[in-house]
Structure 1
Amino acid sequence: MIAIVIALIVFVLSGFGLGYWLQRNSAVRQASQPQPRGADQLAKLHWREFAKLVLQAMHARGFDPVIEDGMPADGIPTNGNDILLERDGERALLSSKYGTASLVGASALLGLSKSATLRGAARVIVVTPGRFDEEAKRLALQQNIELIDGETLWPEVRPYVARPEEPQPAKPTAGAQARGPLLAWGGAAVIGVLAWGLAQSLLPANSGDDDMPPPPPVIAKAKAAAQAPMAMEAIPTDPAQLEQRRRETANAISTLFGVDRALWSTQSTLLVYLNSEDADPVSELCPLLERYPELAASRVQLQPPAGSKKPVRFKQCRTY
């Protein structure tokens, strides 16, 4: 009887613990979902308002427009031509592909590298409130062109939007709500069976459990399945899927307390802008990075707020 009491206690505690863990994990997954409504809001702006937001995002990166002859003081050409930017002597050509089309193809990128060379720019940045198709991404990779679509741009320009529309979290369906408790208490049942078996083996022979029947075959199979080692998650080979996981992680970290925005400055460096000198979101952002094995060892650059005298900090959640 003692083994049964122990198993029941373990079953109840495991059920509540797994239920809490599943609920918390579900909230983290919802926070990591992309925010299409922000990108949709960009597509509704007038092209000049969109260009101003893009220039503010570029200014946060350290780029300022080069005022050429005949250009307005804000650096936005009235004819919608490409804008020449400069940062510490480095020049970049900024091209905004703003229009009714939500998908930008490779034809929109043709000639940009040559135009950048003629204007003394070493790099090309192409921005759109929509998306780039696969052919455009391949061409950009070949010509070293940086592509920024609406979902990637939104975290960078969100601080400059007067009243940004924040997406409402999706309400879980009835099926998803029912699966959570079933998974929690099903796992608790397996743990309870394991606890009962362990108690049987550790308790003295005269504990009164000798006459208890062995567990039925179904429970035995569940016990064996629970003891089987879990397979490690494989890193996907599809570049689009890898980029989607990087974008989801940056968007989720942008929602953390004390974080203004987060973006990938390189393939392995995440730039996190803080909105408070006392903010330290490392303990919360590390679990978001460690969800994906290819991002777990990324270098995190914590950028203090503008005007702060605190130095830039670098963190790494997990070593290679």
Structure 2
Amino acid sequence: MLPWILALLSALLTCTLATVYLWWFKRRRTEMQLGLQALAGMHWREFSTLIKRMLREQRGLRELQDPSEESREPSSDFLLSDGPNTWRVSCKHGLAYRIGTAAVNELGAAARLAGAKGGMLITEGRVERDGLGAAEKQAVEVIDGPRLWPLLQPYLPADVETRVRAIARHEALRRIAIAALASVTLGLLVGLGLQGLRPEQADSVPAPAVAPVAPPTARPVPTPAAPESAANAPAPMVAAAAAQNGDDTRSNPNPDAATLDRYQAELARALAGQSGIASGVWLTRQTLAINRTGELETVWPRVCQEVLRYPALRNVRVQLNARPGVDEPVRWRQCATY
């Protein structure tokens, strides 16, 4: 039960972390990318209008010349002023822009030529590291893609913003569903892996020593009267006949319950008399525990020698306990298989 509880907790933790990342971080990044693509799809005049509106409402900058007056040569560069100070603004419209030192130096020179305090470089693309270094020297403020999107987002048309949010939300939910399925799969793998480790751990932990139990005393079986011919036979012949009768009885592979109990009692007594074996105890019908005092390599052949005398007991599971005072694992073996 414990492995599956750990598997459930790992699946829930993985799914929770993936959901937080995909919804709060990945969704916003996707929304920014889609928004910048929507801005890049506008005509440059619409983009410039959004820039002027954003700067007017957020920074109080107004265009020096009349906005209603169209210039003969359209340009994405214009002058904005807050009264005492003037800035030269350059809009680089498009996602493909990777602006470096040259464009920044050019804007800085144009701003100084126009008598402006500084310049602003605005683009949906990106400004490279050398361009950022040059911007500090040229008194040029850089507003590229990641910084531009949150500034222009409130000024997008309502249908464009709704479409961008819907697509980003749908993509985030799809990724969360995939992450949830992957978390369930991970939980199943963790549970199966932990379940598979349990038998190995159980095999390596020494079992508690089993106290020897005296085998039940076999009831004396009345011996039928020997025929006159057997009584008069020589002693060696009588002993051989008795041994042959005992072997015939012991070789029965399917004895009844009473006979099987007798076989087990005989085997326990025979093992207790072997060197290196303290006792043999039957834990179950199919499990024989050996409390040994000798080395495993010495004791095991003697155990099998006695067990194989009984065909009905040849497939029992033998538990070889550790020697007293010796730190060694319990071993399980079989003398014969089916």
Q: State TM-score, norm by structure 2.
A: 0.45
Indicate the structure whose relative CO is greater, using CA pairs within 8 Å and at least 6 residues apart: 1
Decide which structure has greater helix share. 2
Larger radius of gyration: 2
